[in-house]
Chain A
Amino acid sequence: MKSIVNAFVRITVASLLIALVSIASQAQTAAAAAADTSGKLQIAQLDRLASKAAEFINVNMDERLLRLVPSVLSNDPEEKDVKEVIAGLRGIYVKRFEFDNEGAYGAGDLEAIRAQLSPPNWSRIVEIRSRRDGENIEVYLLTNGGRVDGLVVLSSEPKELMVINIVGSIDLDKLAKLRGQFGVPEDLEYETKPRTKRQ
């Protein structure tokens, strides 16, 4: 009787542990794979910074929502361009934090993002670092056979942090049309031509 009960307990505990390890492992693998190939980053971990932020904007628009947009855009040249840009996208995700004080976020927060933007899938095409005001801007592209399939703008200042993740086929020349719409900040400054600059 004793041995049967002990075996039953061990099997139950072992099953529980195996299930937990398996779930954690699958989640990690799925996250890494998703970031590499789909173009969608895992940035939910930044949400914990929201409680420290004076201003916080978090926008999540997936493909299903973006597919609704063209129906309400007209055919005037401006909106036609927006329609064309939107047509190839599978998601727009924006997180923007403004803090009252410096040091609200750490280097680890940025590294967790950069770790998902590694070659060969991703390449950093713009890096601007300003020692004067502590502003850093990095632009990364996900390319497949010459086609741009994803873009990330990572902008950090002592009191500001912003991540923009645009997923899908992107026409870089028309990307600026999204400024001020769909959660993309109006004042976003970025370039999509390769550049590295330290001021």
Chain B
Amino acid sequence: MRKKHLAHLHMAVVALGFLSSLAFAASGASAKGIEFKDVVKLIERHYGVKQQGLSFAARAGIKIGKIVVDRKTRYSEYGSVKFALFEDQDFSRPSGGVGFGAAMSSVLQPEWQPLVEVRSGQDAEQVFVYLKEAGKVFKVLVITLGERDGVAVQVDIKPDKLAQLLKNPDTAGKILTDEATEDSSPE
């Protein structure tokens, strides 16, 4: 009989604990904020892929090596650039039954606002653009995923630059990714 009482008490404590943890998780997440590394981890977890570090990219001779060199140039336009590259990996097998867009939204919202999502079946490319106001600038997060490659970029842009991009939101992600990652050093 005593065991039964204890079991009931245990159930009640678990239920209360569950409610408390929900409240704590909600307040904790909003206080800490979603960071770029959280987004990278989400991509890695969702697709079972791994981002290449800067040193790997530099050794492989791909563009990202130059981005580090040209960072000062880009800093003049973008207050900050964060970049994660996924090369030659399999994005065709997402884990679980949830699409990446839904998985992203559940993590990023409401802190980040979705601006545009473009999915093209022909080249199996997905582009997601999210925004967050941060004082005098906007933080823009662009995630572009293909079948074998992916790139995540987070940049700070001024309102006038963002306004230009808003005129054609469906190409905003590509433009930002290209501009933030292109080699801007003289030929």
Find out whether the CB atom of B166 lies under 8 angstroms from the CB atom of A182: yes
Mark interface residues in B114-130 (1 if CB within 8 Å of A CB, else 0).
11111111100000000
Which residues of chain B from 1 to 45 have a CB within 8 Å of any chain A CB? Answer: 1, 5, 8-9, 11-12, 15-16, 19
A47 to B103, CA, bound (A): 12
A9 to B16, CA, bound (A): 10
Q: Does B160 contact A (CB under 8 A)?
A: yes
How far in angstroms is the closest Cβ of chain B from A65?
A: 6
Known contacts A12-B12, A182-B169: A59-B116 contact under CB 8 Å: yes
Find out whether the CB atom of A57 lies under 8 angstroms from the CB atom of B118: yes
Which 3 residue pairs across A and B have the least CB separation, nearest first? A54-B121, A56-B119, A68-B163
Q: Which residues does A use to contact B, with CB under 8 Å?
A: 1-2, 5-6, 8-9, 12-13, 16, 19, 47, 50-51, 53-62, 64-66, 68-69, 71-72, 100, 181-183
A62 to B114, CA, bound (A): 10
Q: List 27 contacting pairs A-B, 8 Å CB cutoff, sorted by A.
A: A2-B5, A8-B8, A9-B11, A9-B15, A47-B101, A50-B99, A54-B120, A55-B119, A55-B122, A56-B117, A56-B118, A57-B119, A58-B118, A59-B169, A60-B115, A60-B116, A62-B113, A64-B133, A65-B115, A69-B166, A69-B167, A71-B160, A71-B163, A100-B121, A181-B167, A181-B168, A182-B166
Q: Does B85 contact A (CB under 8 A)?
A: no
Across the two chains, which residue of chain B brings its CB closest to A95? B117
A1 to B5, CA, bound (A): 8
Neighbouring A residues of B163 by C-beta, 8 Å: 68-69, 71-72
Neighbouring B residues of A51 by C-beta, 8 Å: 99
Find out whether the CB atom of B121 lies under 8 angstroms from the CB atom of A58: no
Find out whether the CB atom of A68 lies under 8 angstroms from the CB atom of B119: no
The count of chain B contact residues (Cβ–Cβ below 8 Å) is 34
The residue from B5, B16, B118, B133 contacting A5, defined by CB atoms under 8 A apart: B5
A5 to B122, CA, bound (A): 61
Known contacts A16-B19, A53-B121: A59-B115 contact under CB 8 Å: yes
Neighbouring A residues of B141 by C-beta, 8 Å: none
Find out whether the CB atom of B12 lies under 8 angstroms from the CB atom of A9: yes
Find out whether the CB atom of A53 lies under 8 angstroms from the CB atom of B119: yes
The residue from B121, B162, B170 contacting A57, defined by CB atoms under 8 A apart: B170
Across the two chains, which residue of chain A brings its CB closest to B121? A54
A182 to B160, CA, bound (A): 15
Neighbouring A residues of B115 by C-beta, 8 Å: 59-61, 65
Neighbouring A residues of B116 by C-beta, 8 Å: 57-60, 183
How far in angstroms is the closest Cβ of chain A from B85?
A: 24
Q: Does B131 contact A (CB under 8 A)?
A: yes
Find out whether the CB atom of A12 lies under 8 angstroms from the CB atom of B99: no
Neighbouring B residues of A72 by C-beta, 8 Å: 160, 163-164, 167
Known contacts A56-B118, A57-B118, A72-B164: A5-B12 contact under CB 8 Å: yes
Find out whether the CB atom of B8 lies under 8 angstroms from the CB atom of A5: yes
How far in angstroms is the closest Cβ of chain B from A53?
A: 7
Q: Does B102 contact A (CB under 8 A)?
A: yes
Neighbouring B residues of A64 by C-beta, 8 Å: 133
Neighbouring B residues of A60 by C-beta, 8 Å: 113-116
How far in angstroms is the closest Cβ of chain A from B97?
A: 10
How far in angstroms is the closest Cβ of chain A from B9?
A: 5
Q: Does B159 contact A (CB under 8 A)?
A: yes
How far in angstroms is the closest Cβ of chain B from A104?
A: 12
